[in-house]
Structure formats: structure tokens, C-alpha cells
Amino acid sequence: MRIVVALGGNALLRRGETLSAAAQQAAVGDAARSFACVAAMGHQLVITHGNGPQVGLLALQSLAGPVESAMPLDILGAESEGWIGYSIELALRNALPADTTVVTLLTQTLVDGSDDAFSRPAKPIGPVYDEATAKKLAAANHWSIAPDSKGWRRVVASPEPQGILEIAVIRQLAESGTIVICAGGGGIPVQRMSDGTLAGAEAVIDKDKTSALLARQLGADLFIMLTDVAGVYLHYGTENARMIRHTSPRELATEGASFGAGSMAPKIEAACAFVRETGRSAAIGALGDLADIIIGTKGTTIAGE
């Protein structure tokens, strides 16, 4: 099978841990061992990943230099693809037989410069601050900020992905048996200008949405989003919480309210978009359960109409 797997932030950094090179490599090592099992089963793997904490950290580091050296989000997104892609690639090389080919591909995702999302920044990046610190940083750096579950975070525009510039080469690599790490952080956001040229966009795209688009365009047999919960729960966070094992886009549409905006809701949207368009299955589950999710014994599988 050709499988597109999107790695959540927790695969790169366990929730609550400080972002350090050592902590990240330990988390990525766990992910790589899961992938190695799947590759050994003979499946074609295309791996995508998030970049929220990393791109936020790069933005802060970029503020340390002269004002004019602060880099826009497209460049920081490219940096984060290199950084995280390299970490995943290194861990995969350590977990896989020596003759496996692995490549990290800088990926650009086309967005529409007139997307409403540019006037409604909503995607949290970087660390969580207390309210006073967040407001001070926002005033000093012209950030938008918004409350997050445990405090306040910087928020940036997150437009809809319209296309993946490197799709043809990703397909070729996957077909040749290469494990491809691509579309990190949803891809580097670029927009088509009125003169036909491309330019970077000040945004961070949702990685689940770009991954769904990638999975559709690659004709993936299965699209999996790995995160830090065993699957999708009804009544999540209450004592009546119950994990859904199998469901369909139609059934999920009636449950919309119980899925966290900005966390589980975008995964469900991405899964349903893939399933509706391809008639194939999507799944959501925990990083360590990858092999069982593929055979359908763990996680939440979304299929049918």
C-alpha cells in the first residue's frame, strides 16, 4: 500500500517538554522505529510533519538580530522543514536497513493571497505565555495573539493549501521505493503574484490539510494522522469519553461539536476530505500504534460515505 503518514507535534516533542535537540531526537527515534516496522511490511511511505513549536522558536531566534534580519514566515517554514526533516531522516536511517533510500524534500505549498485567513490569524505557533507576557511581546513585535488551552500564544495566518509544487517529484520518488519526508509544517507557503511569479507568504499552513491534499494527489491507499491520543473520542475530556473505532464522514458531520477546534477538528476535516474524494480510508491514532492502525486493530478508522 502507499501510505501518507502525518506526524503530530508530539512525535517531534512530547507534550510539555522543552524544545531541545536531545528531547526532539528521542521523540523522533520512537517515530522512526514505528516507521521501520511499516517499511518492513513492504508499504510505500510518504511522511509529513507539523512545525508549530519549531517555527515559533525560529521566529523568536530571528528577533535576536538586527530588525532588518528578522525573517518572514516562509523562510522560517523552509528552515523548519530542513531542521525537522533532517531529524526524522537521521532517525530513519538508524532504524532502517542500510539499503533503504530516504529523502527530505523542501516542499512549497501554493496559497491564495486573497484567502480570508490572512485577515484572521488563527494558527498558534511557538511557546505558551502568560497573558501579560504575551501582550507585551505582541505590542513589541506586531504579533497577533490568542488564548490557548494553558495560556496565550502568538497566532499567524493559516490559509487553505491549494496545490503542492513538488507533487510530481514526490510521486516519482515514492514510486521508486524511496521514503519521502515532505510537506513539513504544511509546506512553505507561496503565492502566485499578478505577474505570474511566485513569492513567499506570511503564513503557516495546517499540516493536516496539506497532508490530506498530498494523500489525494498521490493516490494514497491510506492516510494516517498520528498524534498523542489513541483515536477520536466522543465527549472528549469528560467522564463519558468513548473512543470511536470506525466511523464515516457522514456520521462525523453530526458530531462536529465535540472535536477540539485547532486540534482534533482539523484532523477530522482532513480525514473526511480524503475519504470523500477518494473513497479510501483515513485513520487517526497514537504514534506507537502505527502498525496496528494500518491493519485496523487500533485507532479510529474513517471510511465510507
State yes or no: residue 229 binds ligand ADP (CB under 6 A): yes
Q: Which candidate, 197, 208, 210, places its Cα nearest to that of 162?
A: 210
Among 26, 258, 291, 296, binds ligand ADP (CB under 6 A): 258
State yes or no: residue 186 binds ligand ADP (CB under 6 A): no
**Rounded to the nearest whole angstrom, what is the least distance from the CB of residue 207 to ligand ADP in the complex?**
7
The region of 6-14, 34-42, 81-89, 215-223 touching ligand ADP under the rule CB under 6 A is 6-14
Backbone angles phi, psi at 272, to 5 degrees: -65, -40
State yes or no: residue 122 binds ligand ADP (CB under 6 A): no
Catalytic annotation present for 10: yes
Toward ligand ADP, which CB reaches closer, 235 or 250? Answer: 235
Beta strands in the chain (DSSP E): 2-7, 44-49, 102-104, 108-111, 123-129, 144-147, 152-156, 163-164, 179-181, 188-192, 198-200, 222-227, 233-234, 242-243, 246-247, 281-286, 300-302
State yes or no: residue 299 binds ligand ADP (CB under 6 A): no
Dist CA 305 CA 303 (whole Å): 7
Catalytic annotation present for 42: no
Dist CA 171 CA 158 (whole Å): 25
Q: Is-contact 232 243, C-beta < 8 A?
A: yes
State yes or no: residue 264 binds ligand ADP (CB under 6 A): yes
Pull the grid cell for residue 9.
Answer: 507535534
Catalytic annotation present for 298: no
Pattern 46-75, ligand ADP, x by CB under 6 A: ----x-------------------------
Q: Which chain residues interact with ligand ADP by CB under 6 A? A: 8-10, 50, 227-229, 232-233, 236, 258-260, 263-264
